[in-house]
Chain A
Amino acid sequence: MSIRGRFAILGSMALIAVACSGGASTPPASVAASQPAATGGTESTAPTASASAAPIAGGLLEKILKSGKLVVSTDPKYPPQSELEPDGTYKGFDIDVATEIAKRLGVTVEFVTPDWTAITAGGWGGRWDVSVGSMTITVDRKKVLDFSPPYYYTPAQMAASTHSGITTLDGLAGKTICSGEGTTYDQWLNGTLDYGTGQDLGKPPAGIKSTTLPTDTDCPDQWKSKRFDFDGWLSSITTVDGAIKAGLPLVKVGDPVFYEPLAVAVDKKGPADTDFMPILSKIIADMHSDGTLTAFSQKSFSADYTVAAK
């Protein structure tokens, strides 16, 4: 427990430093609120600019401001969004975004790492406050989680093993396609992905079978191990690019099959969040308009994924 706490604190300290130096070119939207966190993570109990009205008693905002820290769930098996450094700190796009949100709330950030399926299932029991984990807003998840507006959008990219020789989407027809457990990619492959916006998300190649492994990157890793139980892999373009960069035996197949709005999530069963969500939404809107998110996206992905592509 103590070790985990130490890592989290070390992580948040280092990341605050990173975020400060990285975001120096773009002035923070609420300078007053960001000061306490910027000066080395001292706890702030002073009311922030964004929280001028008294927070709901026992609510999420009160909890965060009182404890002086934002507890964020992250999955460090998911670079370049979230990964570990050799010294045990975290880095990545989601880590940058979470750190910046905490900074603008005037609190420090702390990361916890429950299993992805435990995050998407809701019922967090107050053990963490928000998920800044590139989570797609879907109808099913909306039943248990409240979402902020999207902070970025990633294309979903189909890939195939070089071993299969497949180079087109049609070539995957009738084949088995792998994706991560509990991901929107698995839902899309099974035709159950629904954003609740009536948007047409297209259809997978005819007659495909889907299979899952615990996390997205497990799929191409099987090909590296010379297991070819499946020929295709569906994941975020950022993850697919990472695998290709790491020299794994796969190729991208076709154009992105659909686009995902990714947002910060809050547990519906947790402390009341009706005063927190507008503040969170405002922070994200500010981070869009002042270029902070674009800068983070360029830094982690060498591309700007902060604008809806479709």
Chain B
Amino acid sequence: MVAPLAARGPLGLGPGPEAIVRAVAASRRSARLRFRLVFLATWIVLVGGIVLLIGSTGRVDLDFLNTWTPLILGGIPITIAVSVTAIVFATMFAILGALGRLSRVAPIYAAATLYVSLVRGTPLIVQVFFVFSALPEFGIVLPAFIAGTFALSFNYGAYMTEIFRAGIQAIPRGQIEAAASLGMTERHTMRRIILPQAIRIVIPAIGNEFIAMIKDSALVSFVGLHELFWFARTVGTSHFQAFSTLTLAALVYWALTIFFSLFQERLEKRMAASDVRL
């Protein structure tokens, strides 16, 4: 297709502008297609290599997995339930934390800053242990599910506090002044003008945190919640087949994150719709 166009060049009868646009578009399309094919081929080679590598250890016992996979996969609903519940509460902690971090009232600012500093400065597994085993010393006895999701959401809330703070601060100052000139109170401005826009900005980041949360939810196996990792570890350890079961669990976590990433990509595109220049 390209060759005849080029051949006509020297005769002074060059292709019209539309033909050039078409040719450029076609060449871009084929380049994109080539890129995708190479991408796919590379993945097949790499994933195939990993599978062969794992298989070559001779430690993945398919007969064993055949018996136990249904039980292990039975942990997926708990994994998803923990992750979804925890991200919802983490978002609430994050909004409160961000408002606190932006507050001009010293004690509130201090408390919010302490929250972020303390929670980000200690390991999540220690926090899970603390909520489950140390809080009862103070008379606060949380059932396993609540203890696990609370620890996760409290932890993620601290990280997401900074995300929300950045989101709120990204709203141009002019909008606050405009709201003030309309006679809106500070609280009103926050609720009606700033937060709705800030949330739009931070939603892709929340999606990102959620994908991280799916994997960190494995830590709540400590409190005895029967989620994916708990089953994989319990079944694997007691039969000396941890290699098989943990490989299976890894694949499931991977599949879950791929699934939710696709969802997040769509969400991100939708949230960016207003930024697209027509």
Contacts and interface: CB of A to CB of B under 8 A. Distances in A.
Interface of A: 1, 3-4, 7, 76-79, 83-84, 86-88, 112-115, 118, 121, 123-127, 215, 217-218, 220-221, 224-225, 243, 246, 248, 269
Contacts of A123: 133-134, 136-137
Contact of A248 (B136, B240, B242): B240
Interface in B237-265: 237-240, 242-243
B132 interface: yes
A215 B225 CA distance: 18
Given A86-B67, A125-B141, A225-B243, A4 B238 contact: no
Given A79-B238, A124-B136, A127-B144, 5 more contacts: A4-B226, A113-B226, A114-B132, A114-B144, A269-B137
Contacts of A112: 144, 224
B238 A118 contact: no
Nearest to A4: B226
Contacts of B67: 86
A88 B74 contact: yes
A118 B136 contact: no
Nearest to B78: A3
B225 A4 contact: yes
Nearest to B132: A118
A126 B141 contact: yes
A1 B134 CA distance: 22
Candidate in A125, A217, A225, A248 with the most chain B CB atoms within 10 angstroms: A125
B223 A217 contact: no
A78 to B, nearest CB: 7
B35 interface: no
A86 B234 contact: no
B240 A84 contact: no
Contacts of B137: 123, 269
A124 B235 CA distance: 25
A124 B243 CA distance: 32
Given A86-B68, A114-B144, A123-B137, A243 B240 contact: yes
A118 to B, nearest CB: 5
B222 A4 contact: no
Contacts of A77: 233-234, 237-238
Given A88-B71, A88-B74, A123-B136, A118 B222 contact: yes
24 contacts: A1-B81, A4-B78, A76-B234, A77-B233, A77-B238, A79-B239, A84-B234, A84-B235, A86-B68, A88-B71, A112-B144, A114-B132, A115-B223, A118-B132, A118-B223, A123-B133, A126-B141, A127-B141, A217-B238, A218-B237, A221-B237, A224-B240, A246-B239, A269-B137
Contacts of B234: 76-77, 84, 113
Interface in B70-103: 70-71, 74, 77-78, 81
B59 interface: yes
